[in-house]
Each structure stands twice: as C-alpha cells, then as structure tokens.
Amino acid sequence: MHPRLINTYIAKKFWVPFFFAMGVFAALVVLGDMFEKMKNLGNGITTMWDIFSYALATFPNWLATIMPVACLLGAISVISEMVANGEWTACVAGGFSPKQLFKPIIACILVVAGATMLLQEFVVPPLNVKANYIYYTRMKPRPNYNQYLENDVLIKISPTQMLYAKTVDLTAGTMTKVSVDTYNDSWDIANQIVAEQMVWNKDKQSWLFADGIRRTFVGNMDTQEERFESAESPFTIRPEEMSIGRVYENLMGIRDLTKRIRFHKQTGIASYSAETMRQSKLATPFATIIMCLLGMPFAISTRRKSKIVNILTSMVIAFTFWWLMSMCTSMGENGYINPYLAGWGPVLIFGVVVFFEFKWLRL
C-alpha cells in the first residue's frame, strides 16, 4: 500500500479517540468546577447564569490543560487498536517500520500542540480577565472591584530610588498616594517626593506629579519642604510597558510574560518566576510530543484492545510527567534552580528516557 494512504488512514484514526478523550475529560472538569462554584448560590447575588458564564470563560484554559493527555490517549488507542486488529503486523510485514507508522500520529500531535499554544496565547488571557470579573463581582463580590487596579505597588526606579503607590491603574495611566524616596550611598534617605497623584502625560510622554511636597532631609532631624502643584517624575517607563497586574503568571501568554520580564529587569525586580513560566510554555509542544512518544511503544505490546488499559496508561504517564514538570516549575518560580532548567529540564530528562526506550525496543 502507498505510504500516503497509510499515513492518512492512521491520522484519521487518531482523531476519534482524541476527541472522545477531550469530551470526557472536559465534561468532568467543567462540571466539577461548576458544582464547586454552586456553593456561592446562597449569597443572594450569584445566579446559575453567572456560574455558566464563568465556566465558559475558564473552559479554554481547561481545554489547553487537557489537550496533551487527550493526545497521549489518542496515540496509544490508535496503535493498540491496530495491533489488536492485526493491522500493525500487516503494515510491518509490508515493509513499514514502527517509526514510519509513528510519523502520522506525531504530525497530528504537532497540530494539537500548535493549537494549544495559540489557545494559551490569544484566547486564555482575555477570557481569564472576564472570568475574574465575573468571580469578583457576582460570585465573591469585592467592594469597588476594579480588575485593572493594583494596590500597594513598590517599584525600584533606579539604584538609589524607590517608588511606592497606594493604587496603580495602568489603563487610566494614574497612580495615587505616591512616594518617591531617594537614598544616599549609605542608604539613608536624602530626599522624598510625596504626591496625591502621578499621571501619565501622553503629549510629553512622561509621568507628572500632581499636588505634592518635595522634602530634603538635612541632618537626622531637620527637613526642608516645598509644595508644588505639578512636577516631572523621574519614573520614565510608559504604562503599556509596565506589568504589575494581579493575573497569575500561569494564565498569561508568552507575549505578556515577556513584557513582565522586561519590566522586572528594568526596575530591578527578580524575574525568575515569570521566566520559569515563559520557558515552561515554550517547552509545552515538545513536552506533549515527548510524553506521547513515551507511551506509544507501550501500545505495541498490548495484544488486546482495552480502552481501560489505554486510559490508565495515559493517566500514569501524564501524571508522572506533570508531577516532574510541576516540581521543576515550583523550584524555578522560587529561585532554587535556573528558570531555563526548570522549563526544559523535564523535556530533556524524558527525552533521554524515550531515546533509550526506543533503542531498547529496537524501534
């Protein structure tokens, strides 16, 4: 049989168990999340529509999490079914090597991995903002909730200057209750600017203090003060370049993480947490492929078609992989290991395992 026909046949067989697994896992996760959120119905504000809307907004994030496991189950199911029906043996007898038969499955996995990346980059972040809005205004209401407002922000704006703001709203380009402290070489405070507000001026492309006091510290006890209505700020980073939001980094896209890392480096803030998450997301497609390659040879040894065995095998491999990835990510986020090692370490470790697995099985 022509290789193209075989590839098409195997690729078509992959999608049935893949979508079956996606449907089952997605239904379990979404229904479980909805049932957990139903406990908020007693607050007199939350409605079933709120819970349903929240579930829809968080669904793409769950989908992106489920896709690698569905890929693994689809790959194992295709191979084990071909083995059970004698199709695998017939293909090998016809001159096809196992690696050739793996290629159409890997191609399907690459398509899913690419879709997962696009989902995490362009769909999940904006829907997460919507989900947070529903949660904090309808399910667990917070007074005067503003999802774009960040409280108690501390930024290092130069080696000897620290900026503190009670609230920051980057969408409006405003900061309130601002204090900029300048220190000398001994890290004693030399002068201080306290202002009611700091506003981004689009025309001047700079931050301006409004209604403030400039203090100069003379000796240990004496200070000189000067009031002003408006003054230029030493802080020069534009609002669109800043990243101080409350969004969890695991729900941010690669572009947003890159922006946060750049901002952290500009302001002297440790960026290993965001860098770890960025490297983990970049490694996701490779992790999905490695995880599937780890389980695919197992299916060849399964002589009887058993969906239960396939599901159990997929879950064991997936959770082992996720456990190592979670452990490395946690260590990277806390600065115990290099962020690049935290993101790519599990891929490299299991990549070596796959290499020796294929070599041992002579595939």
Choice among 16-20, 57-61, 143-147 with the minimum mean pLDDT: 143-147
Same domain, residue pair 13 and 134:
yes
Would residue 266 count as lying in a domain?
no
Would residue 260 count as lying in a domain?
no
Confidence class for position 308, pLDDT limits 50, 70, 90: low
Would residue 177 count as lying in a domain?
yes
Q: What residue has token string 């802080």?
A: 235
The residue with greater pLDDT, 319 or 54, is 54
Q: What is the pLDDT of residue 362?
A: 75
Query: What mean pLDDT, rounded, does the chain reach?
Result: 88
Would residue 115 count as lying in a domain?
yes
The residue with greater pLDDT, 84 or 280, is 280
Rounded to whole angstroms, how far apart are CA atoms 307 and 22? 15
pLDDT above 80 (res 100) = yes
Q: What is the pLDDT of residue 266?
A: 84
Q: What is the pLDDT of residue 318?
A: 76
Would residue 259 count as lying in a domain?
no
For the chain, the domain total comes to 2
Confidence class for position 359, pLDDT limits 50, 70, 90: confident
Same domain, residue pair 204 and 240:
yes
**Per-residue DSSP letters for 178-212?**
EEEEEE-TTS-EEEEEEEEEEEEETTTTEEEEEEE
Q: What is the pLDDT of residue 103?
A: 92
The Cα angle at residue 68 between residues 64 and 70, in degrees rounded to 5: 100
Same domain, residue pair 234 and 281:
no
**Helix (H) or strand (E) segment spanning residue 354:** helix 339-361
Rounded to whole angstroms, how far apart are CA atoms 32 and 261? 34
pLDDT above 90 (res 179) = yes
Same domain, residue pair 22 and 135:
yes
Region 23-38 average pLDDT? 90
Handedness of CA 317, 320, 326, 329 (dihedral sign): negative
Same domain, residue pair 186 and 331:
no
Same domain, residue pair 156 and 192:
yes
Rounded to whole angstroms, how far apart are CA atoms 317 and 81? 19
Q: What is the pLDDT of residue 165?
A: 95
Same domain, residue pair 137 and 10:
yes
Same domain, residue pair 179 and 101:
no
Region 102-122 average pLDDT? 93
Q: What is the pLDDT of residue 319?
A: 80
Last residue of a domain, one of 228, 245, 262: 245
Please report, as a single letter, which amino acid is at residue 7: N
Range of the domain at 21: 3-141+271-361
Same domain, residue pair 29 and 115:
yes
Region 340-355 average pLDDT? 92
Same domain, residue pair 137 and 19:
yes
Choice among 92-101, 111-120, 242-251 with the minimum mean pLDDT: 242-251
Would residue 257 count as lying in a domain?
no
pLDDT in tens, 191-242: 999 999 999 999 989 999 999 999 998 876 678 899 999 999 999 899 999 9
Of residues 156, 178, 157, 155, the one with CA closest to residue 166:
178
Rounded to whole angstroms, how far apart are CA atoms 247 and 56? 18
Same domain, residue pair 281 and 203:
no
Q: Is 154 helix (H, G, I), strand (E, B) or coil?
A: strand
Would residue 254 count as lying in a domain?
no
298, 315 contact by CB (below 8 A): no
Same domain, residue pair 103 and 30:
yes
The residue with greater pLDDT, 294 or 197, is 197
pLDDT in tens, 163-172: 999 999 999 9
pLDDT above 60 (res 7) = yes
For the chain, what is the radius of gyration of the CA atoms? 27
Q: What is the pLDDT of residue 357?
A: 82
Q: What is the pLDDT of residue 115?
A: 93
